[in-house]
A = this chain, B = another copy of it.
Amino acid sequence: MNFDFPDEVKAMQIQADDYLTQTNARAAARHVIEGAPSAARRDWAEMAQMGWTGLIIPEHLGGNDIGYIAQCALAYELGRHVSPAPMASSIYLVAEALVRYGSDAQKQKWLPALAEGRISACFAEAEGLSQGRGDLCAAQVANGVLSGVKKPVPDGMDAELALVVAQEDGETGLYLVELQASGVTRQVVQTIEGIREHAAITFDKAEVDLLVRGQTALTDIKQRAAVCIAFEQVGGAQACLDMAVAFAKERFAFGRAIGSFQAIKHKLADMFVAIELARSNAYFAAWALSTDARELPVAAATARLSAGKAYWLAAKENVQTHGGLGFTWELDCHLYYRRHKALKLLLGGNRVWENRLIDGLKSGLVEL
């Protein structure tokens, strides 16, 4: 049994941590939220140079094909440093969809550009307020063109390529759309997160290229991305715990470190417990992702729910542990508090994943 990242992945993870520390990913996140998103773009090219964008892309298409385990380890670091890079949009979702469902021509056209960081991509599913309902999708494709409005689309302002969920003849499909083409207009929308720019994208008879039809493919892509995002969530939660522990050791009140009070100690112990459970579940999901195991639907849902819960606890109680300071803009606590919500809602909230988990158990996908 070796239920741990392999050594070469751990080495890559340390490199990633170094890079994100040196380039100060948290500061980059702060630039975006303060209205200067350009730094994220520079980092994106550098990340591609280090091979981060090509981990699941075959070598002949410009990637390095190192695999999903490495991608999960990297996701953990990106989450921990609350990076604003469009990795989830471009790679976990769009590159993933291309790798699994793209034609040779589609792969040739887009994957090298994504692997080399020349472009970024976004995943456009939500449609504003109707989005509580997965059965409703107003965006329509007919005669090869798409009309409709998608919002919020994370990383949608900068991306060259969108993967759009739309209906055609009453069936759900995934369509590739070039965003510089005519019939596409974009507008920044304000969200709770702010660390990634979100767009409202209006398609008015925009040309599309069908990637794949059917709800199954959509579910497949989302649950695969959910595994990587669970690692981002666990990483974010760990960063919150680390911040809170460091602060509790240094901050004194009533003549002693606040970390010597049980109210703080037990709060942080509970965070630790939630994070370790989530980490273990994420590991299993990474294995299921990397081996295309039949357990994947249940494993992905378990990892996601557990990571979301740990992140919520860690994000809010990190603010609380920091006291008034934690509530200031100046400290980084709020970056994680904001990001928590974005990661929890991206790909659908808990209700969706609880159903997927229980339905998976009912149909015997895993042995109890």
Interface residues of A (CB under 8 A from B): 261-263, 266
Contact = CB atoms under 8 A, between A and B. Distances in A.
Contacts of A266: 262-263
A261 B262 CA distance: 7
A261 B266 CA distance: 12
A240 to B, nearest CB: 21
A266 B270 CA distance: 15
A321 to B, nearest CB: 14
Contacts of A263: 262-263, 266
6 contacts: A261-B262, A262-B262, A262-B263, A262-B266, A263-B263, A263-B266
A263 B270 CA distance: 13
Nearest to A262: B262
Contacts of A261: 262
A266 B265 CA distance: 13
A215 B22 CA distance: 70
Nearest to A266: B263
A122 to B, nearest CB: 39
A257 to B, nearest CB: 14
A262 B269 CA distance: 14
A287 to B, nearest CB: 37
A263 to B, nearest CB: 5
A284 to B, nearest CB: 31
A262 B263 CA distance: 6
A266 B264 CA distance: 11
A263 B263 CA distance: 6
A215 to B, nearest CB: 31
A278 B266 CA distance: 27
A117 B305 CA distance: 56
A225 B266 CA distance: 40
Contacts of A262: 261-263, 266
A317 B157 CA distance: 52
A267 to B, nearest CB: 10
Nearest to A263: B262
A248 to B, nearest CB: 13
A115 to B, nearest CB: 52
